[in-house]
Amino acid sequence: MDRKDLANLIFPDVKDYTYYEEKYTKRDLPEGAQVLRYAPSPTGFVHIGGLYQSLIAKKIAKQTGGIFYVRIEDTDQKREIENGASQILQALKDYDVFPDETINIDGSDNGNYGPYMQSKRKDIYQSYAKKLLEEGNAYPCFCSPEELDKIRGDQEKAKERTGYYGKWTKCRNMPIDMAIEKIKNGDSYIVRFKSPGNPDKKIKHKDVIKGSIEFPENDQDIVIIKSDGLPTYHFAHAIDDHLMGTTIVTRGDEWVASIPLHLQLFYVLGFRAPKYAHNAPLMKIDGDSKRKLSKRKDPEAAVSYYKEEGIPKQSVKEYLMNIANSNFEIWRKQNPEKSMNKFEFDIKKMGVSGALFDMVKMLDVSKNVISKYTAEEVYNQSYEWAKEYDKELLEMLENKEYSLKVLGIERGNNKPRKDIAKWSDVKDIIYYMYPEKFNKNEQFEYQKVNEKSEIEKIVKLYFEKYYNESDDKQTWFDKMKDLAEELGYAREVKEYKANPENYKGHVGDISTVIRITITGRCNTPDLYEIMQVLGKDELMKRI
Ligand code: GLU
């Protein structure tokens, strides 16, 4: 009995690995094209970090004329949830970062390198495990959980590294006949990798983001095939990234410690290793310290949060790009009108330590993004959001013609309004513009000029003598100054500042009184435009 017999006994029906080597031919791509993937486990929560990774991977693929694919890593069936994969893919679709190849939302494959779901690749992994068994680079291990616990306990007592390595590998040198007999006997087992490593030796790894790192060689005989016949992540990713032609593995830096093992697996399997780019996790300031954005503690960790809040997808993507490459912000300033796709992303510029994810900054970016939208775009997106999340706003927006006028105030010019960061802001921002809503939540807190008689005087005189609905903006403004002058206020702020004792105030104080009277607020977009949209009849009612 030899290794071949053992391999045949364990995997009697699998194809020879050469079948897969021939089936998945090298990708025919232009020189320099990169193949990247996002490889989530479908645990039922679409993390913003996943969108971040996909955005980066897709960007590099597009920039180099390569491929971005998504592989669902569902070999840990205990952690998996129903529809986990389709939720991830739907989110990528919504954000327009859908991969070139993956499983379709209905579960079928789209691409020539599939299946793109690991649980459907069992035979492939087993073929390669069989190859390793035949070569003596893998072996069956019969240690029970109790035995493994005992080994761990002994290691802890002896203050040695834990794991299955070196002198602790009980089954590594088991005679083949004995192993065959045990299997025939029905003893349960798993398959382990026989690591050729020596931890006294070092390996050098050049990470695309982190630069050169040195590690001791791996000597752990890790499990490659579990008792359910499915592979472990380590083994599966090596085979998949090889057969699917990945050129750069972009993944979270929690995996960087696995590099010695992964490079060793590639080597022993006879594969050329891809490049690795380990990116830092998204971090958040919590009190005085930084911590990882947490699925449990931070609502903004879920991609669904942005939809609920009504933060446009473009804002989320722009902000993520901002985090990924700090030069994006400057590029955006210099190219305010260009599509984000035109930005040259440089993976080497990604930060080595945790990237700060800051909602305040995200909303700031979003204000800029929305400020460039037309009234029609703002209308359509708020309407879509309101349909799902805000009945009252939806009712307000039903009057489309009027709403477009309201949303068009201070928009489309070269200094557009920047007060909307998310669709859930819209209702409050435009509330007073709707006659049936006005007065309902306005506070009417007058500012500097707050004496009732003075307010009345200003409003009365303005509407009796100066206001004319058909005035253009300049005339309107000049009249505001005339009114100021007539009532003892300075025409210009400058004049007032030079000699405050000569005036009751300045033209700004006068327009603030008018503004508060007709809107209930002291901060609004352009008052002239507001008055135009409200129209004379409504203004008369309000005063
Ligand atoms: N399935 C692994 C995870 O979700 C992927 C790691 C990788 O990208 O290789 O963390």
Query: Of 279, 301, 326, which closes a domain?
Result: 279
Instruction: Using pLDDT thresholds of 50, 70 and 90, give the confidence band for residue 434.
Output: very high
Q: Is the pLDDT of residue 116 over 90?
A: yes
- Least confident range from 1-5, 307-311, 436-440: namely 436-440
Q: Which helix (H) or strand (E) holds 50?
A: helix 48-64
**Start-end of H helices in 244-312:** 259-269, 303-309
Domain membership of residue 160 (yes or no) is: yes
Residues 333 and 478 in one domain: no
- List ligand 1's pocket residues with C-beta within 6 A: 39-41, 73, 233, 237, 249, 251, 255
Same domain, 270 and 136: yes
Q: Domain total for the chain?
A: 4
Q: Assess whether 476 and 433 both reside in one domain.
A: no
211, 343: one domain: no
Beta bridge partners of 69: 37, 101
pLDDT at 80: 63
Residue 242 belongs to some domain of the structure:
yes
Average pLDDT on 486-497 reads 95
Q: Is it the case that residue 205 has pLDDT exceeding 70?
A: yes
Measured in Å, residue 277 CA sits from the centre of ligand 1 at 13
Residue 537 is part of a domain; what is its CATH number?
1.10.10.350
Domain that holds residue 323: 290-348+357-371
Q: What is the mean pLDDT of residues 198-206?
A: 96
Best residue among 68, 234, 237, 261 to mutate for probing ligand 1's pocket (most ligand atoms within 8 Å of CB) is 237
| In a domain? residue 114 | no
φ, ψ for residue 225, nearest 5 deg: -125, 125
Which of the listed residues 53, 119, 242, 251 should we mutate to test ligand 1's pocket, taking the one with most ligand atoms within 8 A of CB?
Answer: 251
Is the same domain home to 140 and 270? yes
Position 108 confidence tier, pLDDT thresholds 50, 70, 90:
confident
Based on the fold, state whether residues 275 and 342 are members of the same structural domain.
Answer: no
Residues 273 and 133 in one domain: yes
Alpha-carbon span 299 to 316, nearest angstrom: 15
Question: Quick one: pLDDT at residue 113?
Answer: 97
Q: Is residue 266 part of a domain?
A: yes
> How confident is the model over 98-109, as a mean pLDDT?
88
Q: Is residue 285 part of a domain?
A: no
In a domain, 162, yes or no: yes
- pLDDT category of residue 84 using cuts at 50, 70 and 90: confident
DSSP 8-state assignment for residue 401: H
Residue 44 in any domain: the answer is no
* 407, two tokens: 């949303």
Domain limit, last residue, from 256, 279, 302:
279
**Nearest atom of ligand 1 to the alpha carbon of 37:** 8
Nearest residue (CA) to ligand 1, atom 5 = 39
Q: How far apart are CA 221 and CA 196, in angstroms?
A: 9
Nearest by Cα to 171 from 159, 180, 179: 179
User: Is 157 found in the same domain as 140?
Assistant: yes
pTM beyond 0.95, yes or no: no
With beta carbons less than 8 A apart as the criterion, state whether 421 and 367 touch. Answer: yes
Average pLDDT over residues 515-522: 92
Q: pLDDT for 127-182, tens place per residue?
A: 999 999 999 999 999 999 999 999 999 999 999 999 999 999 999 999 999 999 99
pLDDT tens per residue, range 268-277: 999 999 999 9
Q: Angle, nearest 10°, between helix axes 400-408 and 423-430?
A: 90
On the question of pLDDT at 18 being above 70, the answer is yes
Task: State which of 408, 437, 466 marks the end of a domain.
Answer: 437
Centre of ligand 1 to C-alpha 128, Å, is 20
pLDDT at 447 over 80: no
Residue nearest to atom 3 of ligand 1 (CA): 40
Considering the domain architecture, whether residues 158 and 248 belong to the same structural domain is answered as yes
Residue 209: band (very low, low, confident or very high) from pLDDT cuts 50, 70, 90: very high
Ligand 1 pocket check: which of 53, 73, 208, 263 to mutate, most ligand atoms within 8 Å of Cβ?
A: 73
Q: Are residues 510 and 405 in the same domain?
A: no
Q: How confident is the model at residue 266 (pLDDT cuts 50, 70, 90)?
A: very high
Q: What are phi and psi of 219, to 5 degrees?
A: -130, 15
Q: Are residues 136 and 217 in the same domain?
A: yes
Domain membership of residue 170 (yes or no) is yes
Asked which of 229-243, 349-363, 375-389, 392-406 is least confident by mean pLDDT, the reply is: 349-363
| Cα-only R_g, the chain | 33
284 Cα to the center of ligand 1, angstroms: 22
Q: What angle do CA 66, 42, 139 make, to 5 degrees?
A: 85
CA–centroid distance, 38 to ligand 1, in Å, is 8
- Closest ligand 1 atom to Cα of 73: 1
Is the Cα torsion angle 467, 471, 477, 482 positive or negative in sign? negative
**What is the rounded average pLDDT for all residues in the chain?**
94
Do 479 and 433 share a structural domain? no
What's the whole-number mean pLDDT along residues 481-488?
Answer: 96
